[in-house]
Amino acid sequence: MNTAVARLQRQFQDYIVSLYQQGFLDNQFTELRNLQDEGTPDFVSEVVSLFFDDCAKLIKNMSRSLEQPENVDFKQVDSGVHQLKGSSSSVGARRVKNVCISFKECCDVQNREGCLRCLQQVDYEYKVLKTKLQDLFKLEQRILQAGGTIPQVDI
Amino acid sequence: MARDGGVSCLRRSDMMSVGMGGIESAPLDLDEVHVLAVDDSLVDRIVIERLLRITSCKVTAVDSGWRALEFLGLDSEKASVELDRLKVDLIITDYCMPGMTGYELLKKIKESSNFRQVPVVIMSSENVMNRIDRCLEEGAEDFLLKPVKLADVKRLRSYLTRDVKLPNGNKRKLPVPEDSNSVDTSLPLSPPPLTESSDSSPPLSPVEMFSSPLSSPVDDEDDDVLTSSPEESPIRPQKMRSPGLD
């Protein structure tokens, strides 16, 4: 039904705009959305899925490096933060990226406590984003299933 | 990937080979622009590959400088490469990579007689003036600040299209004069500044410069026939310098 589609589209629009406004996403996410088309309808969800896998892996490795207070491999942690910052930046995961900036600073001065706090925060942020984007993609699917098209959103 | 979906930008097998750092290399069509992309980050490889494919490039994506050299036949162990099979029109590489940096890869490429004419573009997440200068001095064509955007790739694309044969004169919106095969070199290249876009940057404009906007890779074969020849020296755009970001 048309009104059902319109309602879903409005819901989608509001939701995605709120994600930008609350700083979860930045315009690099828009760039990714613009690279998606009918021929590649899963591009964004596939890229972010890879990103989240990356997050989990990097966080696990950094956690291990930070475990022993007397024996922290800050080089490894720094490398992990660098990679995480890079990929979060590439997908538009703004909050995750911002935590990485603080994380790097803690690493530079070899502040283990600070690193642990940042690690916890980055773990939290990527998981929150993952949930939010899952909801966003579900909305997209509902729109498509109802026969509608996913709105272009100008942020 | 849990989902297989229908047609996706990268077939699962492609993603797997990209993911494992393998060399994804489709059979080469000599008329297409072929780009070798080098980045140790899987996410970035996927994104750059999509950006390039959307601008009608064939892409080979590898995960390290060593694999790039291997692909080009520049690593010492391999026998001489089949030169007619290998046509690379552009090499785009990340700067910060474990093992061999993009800068080191750039130097090796510029030292090789077969590939020194191939334009090399460096990507980096850090806007470090010294780094940019060093790369440009070593012969890099351009320097892109990550995250790479479609506008950046479109700009790169524009200096690869020197001789453009248009099978259909209306296809492309580039101001190519009808009585000439060559691209109008007075094209306004007005590139965006090499800074991270702020939230107030203009909305992304649709791909109007190229004839295959946002098409899936399946459509690439019918696109513009390019007669770019690697042995000609590329048009050197103004050296792109990032304004200092303090």
Q: Which of residues 104-123 of A touch B (CB under 8 A)?
A: none
Specify the higher pLDDT residue, B79 or A41.
A41
pLDDT at A45 over 90: yes
In a domain, A21, yes or no: yes
In a domain, A11, yes or no: yes
In a domain, A77, yes or no: yes
Give pLDDT, residue A2: 72
CATH number at residue B132: 3.40.50.2300
Helix axis angle, A94-108 relative to A112-145, nearest 10°?
Answer: 170
Distance CA B76, CA A1 (A): 65
Average pLDDT score over residue span A118-123? 98
DSSP B181: S
Contact B203, A27 (CB under 8 A): no
In a domain, B123, yes or no: yes
- Judge if pTM exceeds 0.80: no
Q: Which residues of A touch B5 (CB under 8 A)?
A: 41-42
DSSP B171: T
In a domain, B102, yes or no: yes
Verify whether the Cβ–Cβ distance B46 to A50 is below 8 Å. Answer: yes
In a domain, A153, yes or no: no
What SS3 state is found at A127?
helix
What SS3 state is found at B41?
coil
Pick the range with the lowest mean pLDDT from A64-78, A92-106, B76-90: B76-90
Interface test with B, best of A19, A34, A76 (most B CBs within 10 A): A34
Residue B48, domain extent: 34-161
In a domain, B206, yes or no: no
Helix axis angle, A2-21 relative to A112-145, nearest 10°?
Answer: 160
Structure-block tokens of residue B108: 């090796």
Verify whether the Cβ–Cβ distance B125 to A30 is below 8 Å. Answer: no
Average pLDDT score over residue span A25-50? 95
Q: What are phi and psi of B88, to 5 degrees?
A: -115, 125
In a domain, B14, yes or no: no
DSSP letters along B192-214, please? PPSSPPPTTSPPPPP--SSSSTT
Task: Kindly report the average pLDDT of chain A as a whole number.
Answer: 95
Residue A76, domain extent: 3-35+43-146
Task: State yes or no: ipTM above 0.90.
Answer: yes
* Residue that has been written with the tokens 């059902």 in this structure: A4
CATH number at residue A110: 1.20.120.160
In a domain, B216, yes or no: no
What SS3 state is found at B91?
strand
Verify whether the Cβ–Cβ distance A39 to B43 is below 8 Å. Answer: no
Q: Which residues of A touch B192 (CB under 8 A)?
A: none
In a domain, A154, yes or no: no
Specify the higher pLDDT residue, B193 or A126.
A126
Give pLDDT, residue B87: 87
Contact B182, B232 (CB under 8 A): no
Q: How many domains does chain B have?
A: 1
Average pLDDT score over residue span B15-37? 63
In a domain, B58, yes or no: yes
Contact B7, A40 (CB under 8 A): yes
In a domain, B97, yes or no: yes
Verify whether the Cβ–Cβ distance B150 to A30 is below 8 Å. Answer: no
pLDDT at B11 over 50: no
In a domain, A18, yes or no: yes
What SS3 state is found at A14?
helix
Q: How many domains does chain A have?
A: 1
Report the residue from A40, A54, A79 with minimal CB separation from B43.
A54
Segment A83-104, tens digit of pLDDT = 999 999 999 999 999 999 999 9
In a domain, B112, yes or no: yes
